[in-house]
Amino acid sequence: MHDIIKKLKKIIKENVFAFFWTGIFVVIIGITFFPKALKYSETPQFCASCHVMKKQYESWLHSKHRGFKCVDCHLPNDNIVNHYIWKSIDGTKDLISNTLGLKDEDEIFLSNHGHKVLQQNCIRCHKDMVDHIDTKRSCIDCHRTEKHRNTALFCSLNTEVEDEKNK
């Protein structure tokens, strides 16, 4: 092990100029493209780029919630660290399962963690409405429809719901 470290130090010492400029280049590329890539990865269009999400995207596009991003409901929004940890976990899981074909095309479901996150986000956004009801039941027990269809109709039925974009 000591020999490997010695050889590595020698290579770096002999190529310090190349390592320095390569490092600068990597930092510049990272600073330039990472924020844009991160921002794009939180758009519904990015989520819909996966073929298994086409139906969900189309139904979301015609729903009252279309002013919100998928991550507003499906990722924790209690703090930025928790948000990005779960974004990494869920994104990696989805990427692997879809790339390797581990799920059938229509096999989309919420994990136990996903149910908890969705419940917390429903309550966070609809706090005024749910203050008057028992929140021990899951919101999607009553408001679950196949692949997002008619969700907004259920949520706004017999209630006064202001334009959600302005919240």
User: What is the Cα–Cα distance from 111 to 65, expressed in whole angstroms?
Assistant: 22
Specify whether 96 is located in the same domain as 113: yes
Specify whether 23 is located in the same domain as 56: no
Nearest to 56 by CA among 115, 109, 117: 109
Specify whether 71 is located in the same domain as 110: yes
Q: By the 8 A CB rule, do 48 and 42 touch? A: no
Q: In terms of pTM, does the model score above 0.75? A: no
Specify whether 70 is located in the same domain as 151: yes
Specify whether 72 is located in the same domain as 52: yes
Q: Which amino acid is at 151?
A: T
Specify whether 72 is located in the same domain as 53: yes
User: What is the Cα–Cα distance from 29 to 32, expressed in whole angstroms?
Assistant: 5
Specify whether 33 is located in the same domain as 100: no
Specify whether 140 is located in the same domain as 80: yes
What string of pLDDT tens digits covers the 167 residues of the chain? 778 888 888 888 888 888 888 889 888 888 888 889 889 999 999 988 877 788 888 888 888 888 889 999 999 999 999 999 999 998 888 888 877 777 666 667 778 898 899 889 988 888 888 887 776 778 877 776 544 554 444 443 333 333 333 33
CATH of residue 96? 1.10.3820.10
Residue 65: domain span: 48-166
DSSP 8-state code for residue 82: H
